[in-house]
Chain A
């Protein structure tokens, strides 16, 4: 396995965190993924991935403000770390390399 390896869902979550910039907290990330990719995401699987990415050092997190709508609980905002950013770029470069290597997409039916 190469150094630049991310599971598909991990990649999606990291990209979404990047998209949301300063607004990347739990519910926002889920909504963003559901809207953009039209797929159902459970909080359980997403939180697990967030924790894992944070452990790997690709994301960092910090508590934010509490709101009435959240029953007085604070939000946890996630941010991309430098490692995370270079990781994402590495993954993209790998993909681009692969795409560049294809002369023309041939499909069989």
Chain B
């Protein structure tokens, strides 16, 4: 039987406990330990002893005046501080590199932390945030849009049925979002708003500055506006009781302001400037086929998500009339937590501002990598300097310093460095945050005194200090006094790889991964921009008009503009060729009801094909006279394939409710290159509605262009109440890839930073190396070595390390880049030159970094360095 109690906890106890009661309590501990062995066995007793000791570690038991609690008391402590400070001053370059590297690393980390924290905090501010869910539609028929069969919208009657039948639901609100023109006597402005029902405030506890949440939206013509909109429209006056006109397309309605909201927090998915009753849309109230409202519910505390989801099919049976479509579509209604909304991108027609999981993941990885780079720098320089410092350690040990004291000395030094770096970083973050925020299109806030941020900063300092100080602390303090003082550490270097080399390799591997990553993203982005998408993108002016004029009005405007010598063609359309997302099932001659087909569609006027240079393969364009009451169509090649037609037999066929096929056009990329080309019909009809006017301009001078634009602006403004909004199609096209562009810019920034950090480290390392080898180099020169030989002697070893780093990094980088590219249906293949460039770039930076020292060493007069001896 083992009667000897474990030593470590007792040692720890003796270390902290006040001497006055150390003896008797230790006796108690031992006695109780033996007692527990008898009761429950050795294992339990050991565990229990630990627990008891830890629970004794409390202020009343600790000996505060005890010197062992403070690493070095009195004069010793002073000596440590003094020596550390002298070390910092003496090795200025070294200290500078350490602090600069750590500062850069911490700055990156803090910036990215702020971003990630911001992205993850969306919608968490509501009182019931964890019980709020969004109801969305999942199509099980295989029908997909943009690669997803989930839709954010639900039919209005579903909301009524859920409210009536499901006791698990505490509150429910239906929401429609819309951008409208808000007009008062003096002002008019385009604003986003929500049409909501009366339980809105029960689900979302937005703060009303004026008005009662249960009453503000009861009247059909009541409206609640944010204080931002209130001060925009009415300046300092009280907005309550005032009226304003809301214009949707051409309909105008007068609303009375019944409440003013505090501006919603930044991290809210639902963005709006006004709230008005959804009863405006009562004509949809009983229509299960129109799915256009967003439903949010608050569940009871005890309710389970699956239970609620499981009850919905019965609701549908009870409330919905079954017909062909309901049977065919097999919709399911699912719940999604509100907290997931901001970062979920797989649901079509979603509401609100979206974040990106990819961005968060990539940037988090970058944050950790740069931090590691910075730590590695510190470690490397510490290792390089261990030769000189080992003498200091030896002397200290001779004088009587314990290992613990030495460890704490080195750790305290690295903590001091990281604390200094943290303070500098805080300043840098302040300075860089506006740029960074603009790049991310978020308004990030940095408050270093925030109770959430302070612990993070303390933890970073602690961890960085620990990691970077670990080598000197644990290794150097363990050195044998006698061998250190005899100088045996220096000659003791293993000939193979040592820790320092491994660290340099790791550093360069990280840099290479980042270089390759940003090159791949950049080349994919260029590929997206340069790709021939099958339609013309140059010199096309796009005007978006909410209240589109009548057909006759449009025709006369068009005729007028065509007289302008700089205008080539004019067309109107419901969607732009950059993104045609509307789609639906079609019925046609000989269609198979079991296997219905989906076509994407858009309505256009006759010159659409000409404006965008869409190539006609067979039949006529849309210019022919409309000989079918529903309209005329051109199909793309994919549509032909999907319907199983050939070009010849397609022409003249009818698609029910859509019109007659008159021509076939070549496939073009009507969605972003993340997606494949879909079957498409482009339709012209007398009854169609449009949102955009596209104007193809002839090449002309800038001033002519401006004059043309001005003339068009005047004509449009005369026909529309809404502000004139235009864009060039190029820009619209680039916006499809805004997220990739942002990623590319960010990664470029961080790649440069990481190279900078790694180069700083190598700079310091080579400086030290050259310094140590001064005599060796001098002797070589005396014996006839040329400057080139000396330079290559020094550079060679580092180049080797960089090469190994490159070899390690390449497969990892290839894998990661490939993962990222999976997002695109159309993507670049990763070229060999990407790797070649990354390798070359690191090699060149290495040479440049090392060269300043190696050149100086090679040019120095050997007499100077040899004279000392």
Taking beta carbons and an 8 Å cutoff, which residues of A are in contact with B?
25-27, 30-31, 42-45, 47-48, 51-52, 63, 66, 69-71, 73-76
Contact = CB atoms under 8 A, between A and B. Distances in A.
B834 interface: no
Nearest to A26: B28
Contacts of A70: 27-28, 30-31
Contacts of B26: 71, 73
Nearest to B5: A71
A71 B55 contact: no
B32 A27 contact: yes
Contacts of A25: 24, 28
B33 to A, nearest CB: 9
B532 interface: no
A35 B543 CA distance: 87
A52 B56 CA distance: 14
Contact of A76 (B21, B30, B35, B54): B21
A44 B58 contact: yes
Given A47-B21, A47-B25, 12 more contacts: A27-B31, A30-B32, A42-B51, A44-B54, A48-B61, A51-B60, A69-B30, A70-B27, A71-B30, A74-B24, A75-B27, A76-B24
Interface of B: 5, 21, 23-32, 34-35, 51-52, 54-58, 60-61
Contacts of B25: 26, 43, 47
B23 A44 contact: no
A43 B27 contact: no
A48 B32 contact: no
A61 to B, nearest CB: 8
Nearest to B24: A76
B55 A43 contact: yes
SS class of chain B's interface: helix, strand, loop or mixed?
helix
Contacts of B60: 47-48, 51-52
B31 A43 contact: no
Given A70-B30, A74-B24, A47 B5 contact: no
Contacts of B24: 25-26, 63, 73-76
A47 B27 CA distance: 13
B61 A44 contact: yes
A25 B55 CA distance: 19
Contact of B56 (A43, A66, A74, A75): A43
A47 B61 CA distance: 8
A74 B32 contact: no
Nearest to B20: A51
A108 B275 CA distance: 51
A69 B55 contact: no
Q: Which 4 A-B pairs have the closest CB atoms?
A: A73-B27, A44-B55, A26-B28, A76-B24
Interface centre among A27, A52, A76, by most chain B C-beta atoms within 10 angstroms, is A27
Nearest to B22: A73
B39 to A, nearest CB: 11
Nearest to B29: A43
Contacts of B61: 44, 47-48
Contacts of B32: 27, 30, 43
A42 B49 CA distance: 10
A44 B52 CA distance: 7
Given A43-B32, A44-B52, A71 B27 contact: yes
A30 B31 CA distance: 12
B27 A74 contact: yes
A69 B34 contact: yes
A11 B56 CA distance: 20
26 contacts: A25-B28, A27-B32, A42-B51, A43-B28, A43-B32, A43-B56, A44-B54, A44-B56, A47-B56, A47-B60, A48-B58, A51-B21, A51-B60, A63-B23, A69-B30, A69-B31, A70-B28, A71-B26, A71-B27, A73-B26, A73-B27, A74-B23, A74-B27, A75-B24, A75-B27, A76-B24
Contacts of A69: 30-31, 34
A69 B29 CA distance: 11
Nearest to B4: A71
A100 to B, nearest CB: 37
A50 B277 CA distance: 68
Contacts of A43: 25, 28-29, 32, 52, 55-56
B530 to A, nearest CB: 71
A2 to B, nearest CB: 25
Residue of A31, A47, A69 with highest tally of chain B CB at under 10 A: A47
Nearest to A77: B24
A73 B5 CA distance: 14
A69 B27 CA distance: 8
Contacts of B30: 69-71, 73
B324 to A, nearest CB: 62
A27 B25 CA distance: 9
B3 to A, nearest CB: 9
A42 B58 CA distance: 12
A26 B52 CA distance: 13
Nearest to B34: A69
A23 B174 CA distance: 74
A30 to B, nearest CB: 7
Nearest to A50: B21
B31 A42 contact: no
Contacts of A66: 27
Contacts of A48: 58, 60-61
B383 to A, nearest CB: 42
A75 B32 CA distance: 13
A76 B21 CA distance: 9
A70 to B, nearest CB: 4
Contacts of A74: 23-24, 27
Nearest to A76: B24
Given A27-B35, A74-B23, A76-B21, A44 B57 contact: yes
